[in-house]
């Protein structure tokens, strides 16, 4: 079996995160699935992986870049798992995720709070494939990416 180099691992992680971002933006702008707050956070993690990978490849410092990419992928995996828990109602999301109607003591306060609430709630699955939400698919992708990145780091080249 061919060995994975740091350069190859760095390139693959950056490419997979770029593909995840591409899928997210096509879903948003092509099909109208606006992101929730946690989706935006997942996009930021993937964006960081792409930027770190590009910088590492450009500077020829692939091994340190791969380490930082793995950290970014692990953070994205953590956000995805948290997002899955919010979608499944295992735990509550933040106020930005699910909205908060506890502060409206009068009609004007409640109206202001409703109008400032996010359009897309994190605790509702808007799209699924094979019964799995985008957050679950992102967690699967991130877990595979993390395993791949750690395998690439085990190589000493």
What digits encode the pLDDT tens for the residues 83-112?
Answer: 888 887 777 766 666 555 555 566 776 666
Distance between CA 115 and CA 98 in Å, rounded? Answer: 13
The residue extents of the domains of the chain are 6-154
List of the chain residues with pLDDT < 70: 1-3, 93-106, 109-122, 125, 156-157
Q: Which long-range contacts (CB under 8 A, 24 or more apart) does 5-8 make?
A: 5/62, 5/152, 5/155, 5/157, 6/62, 6/63, 6/65, 6/66, 6/152, 6/153, 6/155, 6/157, 7/57, 7/62, 8/152
Q: Which two tokens stand for residue 134?
A: 């985008």
- Which residues lie across from 128 on neighbouring strands? 133
Average pLDDT, the chain: 82
pTM beyond 0.95, yes or no: no
- Would you identify the CATH topology of the domain 6-154? Bromodomain-like (1.20.1550)
């Amino acid at each position: 079996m061919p060995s994975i180099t740091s350069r190859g691992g760095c390139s693959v992680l950056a490419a997979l995160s770029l593909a995840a971002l591409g899928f997210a933006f096509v879903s948003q702008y092509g099909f109208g699935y606006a992101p929730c707050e946690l989706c935006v956070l997942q996009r930021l993690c993937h964006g960081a992986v792409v930027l770190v990978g590009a910088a590492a490849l450009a500077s020829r410092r692939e091994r340190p870049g791969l380490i930082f990419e793995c950290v970014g992928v692990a953070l994205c995996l953590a956000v995805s798992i948290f997002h899955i828990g919010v979608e499944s109602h295992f735990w509550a999301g933040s106020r930005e995720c699910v909205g908060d109607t506890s502060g409206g003591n009068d009609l004007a306060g409640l109206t202001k709070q409703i109008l400032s609430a996010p359009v897309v709630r994190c605790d509702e699955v808007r799209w699924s494939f094979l019964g799995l939400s985008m957050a679950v698919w992102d967690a699967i992708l991130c877990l595979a990416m993390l395993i791949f990145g750690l395998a690439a780091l085990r190589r000493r080249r």
